[in-house]
Structure 1
Amino acid sequence: MAPKKRTSSVNDLAVPGSQVRDPKDALTAMAPSPSLARIPSPARFALVVFSSLVMSSVLFTLTADVTQGDLGLVSKHLEEWWEVGGLVAWKAAEVGLAWVLGFDSWDVASFLFLTHQPTFSLLSFFYGVRPTSTLASYLITILSTVVPFAFLRRPTSVHDLSHAPSGAVANRAILQDTPTTIYTILAATSIFSVVLYGSYASWLPAELVVHFENLPDISAAHAGPAGFPALFLTLIPSGYAARDFLFVSSTGHAEKTTEEEHHANREHEYLIVDFYRKTWGQLSIKTRILISRTLILATSVLLNTTVQIAGTIQDVSIQGAATWGSVWAVSALAIGATFGWIEAVDGV
């Protein structure tokens, strides 16, 4: 006889600091304010996607004189309706994914910064696009999604420590410790820098020449040791974003276990449930959050870079775009593993 499933109440998933038994629930556990609670969740989802698309379109139109100059020289001319529609649908899917996974505005800012950085770094390093054009486009891409999230979803407890209940955030002292913040940011920045520098010094330049036709300049890939300090400094914001998206959300999760979980009847447990409990279920919730977010980030970096570069930059193959994205995806995986090693220390 199959065991009777326990149904979770709304409060289990909505109240900050309440028990979360599944990594997906851990990512989505947040309580809307009374005013937001009056808006049905599907309506808020549709509103955040629609407002993000509209805001992005309006901002790019208003800043066309800044963003279209040298960007227009390297951009594909999309003439087919399905090409334009595909990119719009990808943008909508990206926003929708962030909403479904329960990201707040801080998570979205870090997530989009990291998933779009490979594209804008390529334009800056190898296509000679002016910093004003790159930064304006980068900022619009992030703000057009962050602003709707800020209005339609409350920040999670780890991003609102001053208002979070005492038991809602674990390791509060670690999250507020300045030296720890600096060390974790520098660790993430170092991984980004070393992986990218190692790729420049070995196999990546040849891949760029083969798969990126008419690439204007690859001198950045041949800068050697002299270029490492500048590379490191430009990647510090990436280290900060990775620390916020991965380390803060997992380290700050308040893990609680009820008496019911300890004495749950497992006599008639399904084999797949038993396998899950003895593998993934053996991990702490904060570890599951870290692993889940790391895999989400690495996968999103690879897919978004492939779609954005192959879909918007002329004379770039899908293989070339995926190759460039894979460098950043590997960096994300390495950073996640490093943060996992840090969180394994007793007392964290």
Structure 2
Amino acid sequence: MASHVPFLAVRPDDQFDIETIKTRELVSTNGFPRSSSSVMDTDIADAPEGPQLGRVPPATKLPGWIRFPLIVLLSFSLSTLFYSLVADWAGVELAAVSRTYDEQWQVGAVLTWKFAELCTAWYAGYDWKDLASLATLSNLPYYFLLYTFYELHLFACATALVIDIATIGIPFALLVPLIRAHEPGKSPNQQVAQDGSIFFLMSLFGSAIYAVTVYGSLYTWLPVHLVAHFDGIRSMQHAHDATVPLLVGMLIPIGWATSQFLFTPMIGARANPGITDPALKPEKVKFDPETATFGETVAFNLGYGPDGFSKRGEVLAKRTAVLISCSVMNTFVRVFMTIEGTEPVGAAGWASVWGLAAALTSVAYAWAGNE
């Protein structure tokens, strides 16, 4: 199979090598049952368990009912500690545009949203690399808004973003093992997924797509929309000065995150691009509208062939759904609940820009992976 990315096609002999198959490990499910139709990504399959590769944190051997409370406690503690350390400078800038919470239910709503994020991350079975990427993609739109239209200092916004990433990444790094796609390995798929030059190109590709999407919005409908629905907008100067190269540079973290969350798992996922050993994963039958699941029907109607999604397509589709949902929902909640003078319509419009960019990036990665 030809591919738009150099060396993306794998060698069939290596793909079906019995020793390679035996070394493929199951990703931790954190004690939750998984469904093949679940929107969450799983590069686990009905396969025998093999030894894990790479470093496995000792704490991951603890039972799930202990690890999850530890993750919650550690995440909230780190958030409190880090924001306390930067309160005298970054905290002052953020507080200048933040809503004042006078009611206990408002504080409770913010904490509940944070807890819901941790629950979702735990259920999904993602590792710290996935969650650091997803945190970047979900929170950077909020700080980009504050920098571009509220004139907050770039360093203050970057510091707060790093704290948001660290408070979810560190607990999961200590208590959850890496998924197979992020482990170093010798299989052709893993070698492509871990190749530094390919990762760099895909990161640049992702940041360019986001930059073009944001640039197009800034120079069409977005400024008028923000002025109409955000009472606290301070300046449009950064928006007027924006260029595609400048935005590409500013959105490099987005490119890294999309490549880490979408491209690498799509290529390095277990059973990709289609192991046919029934002991590992039963082959899909031809499409039958009477017996097909909803996901198979959607895949068939989207032109993925009589067998539905390929392994790459399935992983990418699930992760894209998660990315768009988390990016749009978190951006909307953070903007509407924390920025003074924000209307729901305004927050929804801003969030839609980033949801569209995520969708376009996923399509581009599908093209790059020859899907």
Query: How high is the TM-score relative to the length of structure 1?
Result: 0.83
Deviation at 1:263, TM superposition (A): 7.8
Alignment equivalent of 2:355, drawn from 329, 332, 336: 329
Aligned-residue offset at 1:189: 1.2
* 2:26 alignment partner in structure 1: 15
Contact 1:23 1:292 in 2 (8 A): no
Is 1:125 matched with 2:148?
yes
- Pairing 1:37-76 to 2, within 5 Å after superposition: 38-76=61-99
Q: Tell me, yes or no, if the aligned pair for 1:193 and 1:231 is still in contact at 8 Å.
A: yes
Residue range with higher mean Cα deviation, 215-224 or 288-297: 215-224
Q: CA deviation at 1:102?
A: 1.1
Deviation (angstroms), 1:43:
2.3
Which amino acid is 1:202 matched to? T
Distance 1:339 1:55 in 2: 34
Report if aligned partners of 2:133, 2:260 keep a CA contact under 8 Å in 1: yes
Q: Find the aligned partners of 1:53 and 1:238 in 2 and give their Cα distance.
A: 24
SS at match of 1:103: coil
Q: Is the CA contact 1:110–1:244 (under 8 Å) kept in the aligned structure 2?
A: yes
Match of 2:318 among 292, 296, 313: 292
Query: For 1:310-346, what per-residue CA distance to the aligned partner results, in whole angstroms no more than 9, with x for missing partners?
Result: 101100111111111110110000000111111126x
Asked if residue 229 in structure 1 is aligned to residue 245 in structure 2, the reply is yes
The verdict on how the C-alpha distance between 1:34 and 1:116 changes in structure 2, with shifts beyond 3 A counting, is: closer
Q: What pairs with 1:1-348 in structure 2 (closer than 5 Å)?
A: 15=26, 22=36, 24=38, 27=42, 29=44, 33=56, 35-36=58-59, 38-161=61-184, 164=185, 166-167=186-187, 170-223=188-241, 227-255=243-271, 256-259=275-278, 271=290, 273=292, 276-277=295-296, 279-280=298-299, 282-344=308-370
Aligned residue for 1:259, secondary structure, equals coil
Query: Contact 2:181/2:265 (CA < 8 Å) preserved in 1?
Result: yes
Deviates more, 1:119-128 or 1:51-60: 51-60
Q: Aligned letter for 2:337?
A: G
CA distance in 2, matches of 1:274, 1:301: 27
RMSD, aligned α-carbons = 3.0
TM-fit CA distance, 1:92: 1.2
Contact 2:193–2:265 (CA<8 Å) still a contact in 1? no
Question: Which residue identity does 1:259 align to in structure 2?
Answer: P
Identity of aligned residues (%): 28
Cα distance in 1 for residues equivalent to 2:365 and 2:231: 38
Q: Aligned in 2, Cα 1:14/1:40: closer, same or farther, shift over 3 Å?
A: farther
**Structure 1 unmatched ranges of 5 or more:** 1-10
The CA distance in 2 between the partners of 1:146 and 1:34, in whole Å, is: 14
Deviations 1:96-122 (A, max 9, x none): 211211111111111100100110001
1:124-143 alpha-carbon deviations (Å, 9 max, x no partner): 11111112321221111111
* Contact kept? 2:139, 2:331, Cα under 8 Å: yes
Number of residue pairs matched by the alignment = 323
CA contact (8 A) 2:90 2:157 kept: yes
Three-state SS of the structure 1 residue aligned to 2:231 is: coil
Tell me how far 1:271 sits from its aligned partner. Answer: 4.2
- Give the whole-Å Cα distance in 2 for the aligned partners of 1:270 and 1:181: 39
Partner SS, residue 171 of structure 1: helix
Secondary structure at the counterpart of residue 70 of structure 1: helix
Pair 105,38 (structure 1): closer, same or farther in 2 beyond 3 Å: closer
Name the CA distance, whole Å, in 2 between partners of 1:222 and 1:270.
52
The amino acid of 2:249's aligned partner reads L
Q: What's the offset of the Cα at 1:61?
A: 1.8
Query: Which amino acid is 2:277 matched to?
Result: T
Q: After TM superposition, what 4+ stretches of structure 1 lie above 3 angstroms from structure 2? A: 23-26, 28-38, 176-179, 260-266, 269-281
Q: What residue identity is the alignment partner of 1:344?
A: N
Q: Distance in 2 between matches of 1:264 and 1:183?
A: 33
Change (3 A) 1:23 1:155: farther
Please give the alpha-carbon distance, in whole angstroms, between the structure 2 residues aligned to 1:53 and 1:321. Answer: 26
For the 8 Å contact 1:52–1:148, the answer to whether it is kept is: yes
Work out the CA distance in 1 between the residues paired with 2:167 and 2:56: 22
Deviation at residue 242 of structure 1 after TM alignment: 0.5
After superposition, give the CA deviation of every residue in 1:12-67 in whole Å (9 maximum; x if it has no partner). Answer: x96359xx983658537496959445422132122212221121122212221122
Deviations, residues 57-101 of structure 1 (Å, cap 9, x unaligned): 222122211222221111111111111111111111112211211
Q: Distance in 2 between matches of 1:40 and 1:47?
A: 11
